Amino acid sequence: MACLSDYDVKILLAFGQALSGKRPFSDFLLHNGFAELTALAAAIHSDEDALKWLLKNKYPEFAVLIGAIDGEEKAMAWLKKYNFDFLLRFALACRKNDEAIKWFVQNDLKIYIQLIQMIHNILQKQINDSADVHKRRRS
């Protein structure tokens, strides 16, 4: 099982760029042994196929992380049950939990603070878009 804390800072920087929608970084991750981070970035942007890929390719912890970032209690309980404390803290920080953010700041985990801010901004944009009748999907 993987954890975001297992990755080198350079890979996490590329992941951040992939979160920002920069295709060359997604492609770099995809073709250099980090396809799970490409899928995670896409899943954070609500890509259902990417979420399914994470589950199918033995990255359930990242699929559950998406649920925890979205505030799903069962996802947070799963991360706690299986001792994914770092991912749980990360998800809580993405949701602007003060204690979780404080932990990242106190431990001087700057790259994760940047990722947390990026993900929070993505979540905020998704909330704003869902409230905007001009940006809602039509079935």
Residues 43-52 have pLDDT tens digits of 999 999 999 9
Which region holds residue 29: left if phi is over 0, alpha if psi is between -120 and 50, else beta? alpha
Mean pLDDT of the chain: 91
Q: Phi then psi for 10, rounded to 5 degrees?
A: -65, -40
Count of Cβ atoms closer than 10 Å to residue 124 Cβ: 11
Which tens digit of pLDDT belongs to each residue from 55-87? 999 999 999 999 999 999 999 999 999 999 999
| Whether pLDDT at 138 is above 50 | no
Which tens digit of pLDDT belongs to each residue from 14-34? 999 999 999 999 999 999 999
Arithmetic mean of pLDDT, 105-124? 95
Burial of 44 (0-12, 13-18, 19+ CB in 10 A): buried
